[in-house]
Structure 1
């Protein structure tokens, strides 16, 4: 696995039906890591994905999802980024199997607790895992036990969900990173990282890399998430736009060099080409 020169770093986040090895290679000049998928692993999640395709959503639906993961990661073997795969499953064993493939390829296995489509929630995938922390922690533990670097993709603004408690649970289960879609609640990143400098966060969560996602477009938004204490940022929809990726990468480079200031978060209005 390629280790970024120093924290913070930039991640290309998974895009349904679009984030494959070709997409990751195209983003590689600008990013440190790229998460492929999401990929549905078990019969229930695959049936839900087929229902999504029936209503015109793009999905990866290869005959053998584990072979697909292996082939895609093999295509990135010489690409100088950290690869990852975002996985969905209604049961734990397929997550463990996918993580074994990721471990063999020095890739991150990212458990999807993020997707909010009703078809996926109905079978216990995606966002529904945020309401079932024990099952989410079981998935994380199963993946981590294979030796794979293990992440969780989650979202803010889910009614009744304490995202800090979720982060504590997955950190305790062995997660290495917590990838949070902040939605319109960017300050949730501060809640996840608050107290680090004072040593007040739970020890395990203190070691958890917090990746902030949503609306990352350049210096202003990178500075905002940096001010909230994020360890990294990710970019989703603009990940296939070279001009946007270049602008964001420049902002992350400034962050690395200590040249990004808190006041940068409010000094400009960023375009989205």
Structure 2
């Protein structure tokens, strides 16, 4: 779905259009954000800022996303937008914006900050009592017309990522973006449980060895987090993906996303 098969993962308050442009020569996709969309998540983001974290808090998050996607319209990279929300309507709206720009909408079920989890966003969406809301958010994004990714984290107590993968697939999501948290075998479990999903593996991706390991566990692509601003690491990972995933360039499982 993108080439090379390396994505730049969203960095809170830092991953914007300029960041994506700077990394475009070495990456096939870039997820800007995360962007908090509704009142609950924006209030949570303000509390995070109050204690020193960097967050995107534009006056109008939809206008901000539109401007960022417009800035990437002529850049040779597949854009993505990582969003946080507890309600479906703004996710549906962003889904429409993403569809207009051939961008991926990514639901953030990854943030582990207490402020976000307390309001029902971030990794709290992976808990059994919030699984229905995750399903609804994915459906809302798809209703907007965008391909939907869900960013998740491995290694959370009482969370079965294989079951989460099935939720993503059953709700119409196409992509699962996994922070493996040093448990690379979680990629294999997801690939077995939901083989129709496109898997982006994240965590300690630095070069050929890590790319090959994730590929062998079943990943379709990898992503770079904090080192995404380091050109040397981006270039090394890019070359590794071109080598390791070369035989998969004709993979058509998600070719409809590019249509």
Normalized against structure 1, the TM-score is what?
0.88
Deviation at 1:55?
0.8
1:271 maps to none
State the Cα RMSD in Å.
1.3
- 1:151 has 2:140 as partner: no
Q: Is the 8 A contact 2:191 2:197 kept in 1?
A: no
Q: How does 1:64-143 map to 2 (within 5 A)?
A: 64-131=60-127, 132-143=130-141
Deviation at 1:96?
1.0
Query: Partners of 1:100 and 1:86 in 2: how far apart?
Result: 14
Query: Which of 150, 169, 172 is the matching residue for 2:170?
Result: 172
Partner of 2:159, secondary structure, is: coil
2:44 maps to 48
Deviation at 1:258?
4.7
Deviation at 1:257?
2.7
Query: Which of 233, 239, 244 is the matching residue for 2:233?
Result: 244
- 1:4 has 2:2 as partner: yes
Query: Partners of 1:193 and 1:105 in 2: how far apart?
Result: 29
Query: Partners of 1:93 and 1:258 in 2: how far apart?
Result: 40
2:204 maps to 215
Normalized against structure 2, the TM-score is what?
0.92
Q: Is there any run of 5+ residues in structure 2 with no aligned partner, and where? A: 249-259
1:183 maps to 181
1:198 maps to none
Task: Return structure 1 stretches of 4+ with deviation > 4 angstroms.
Answer: none
Q: Is the 8 A contact 2:154 2:161 kept in 1?
A: yes
Q: Is there any run of 5+ residues in structure 1 with no aligned partner, and where? A: 195-200, 260-273
Query: Partners of 1:226 and 1:206 in 2: how far apart?
Result: 14
Deviations 1:45-84 (Å, cap 9, x if unpaired)?
0010000011110000000000000000000000011001
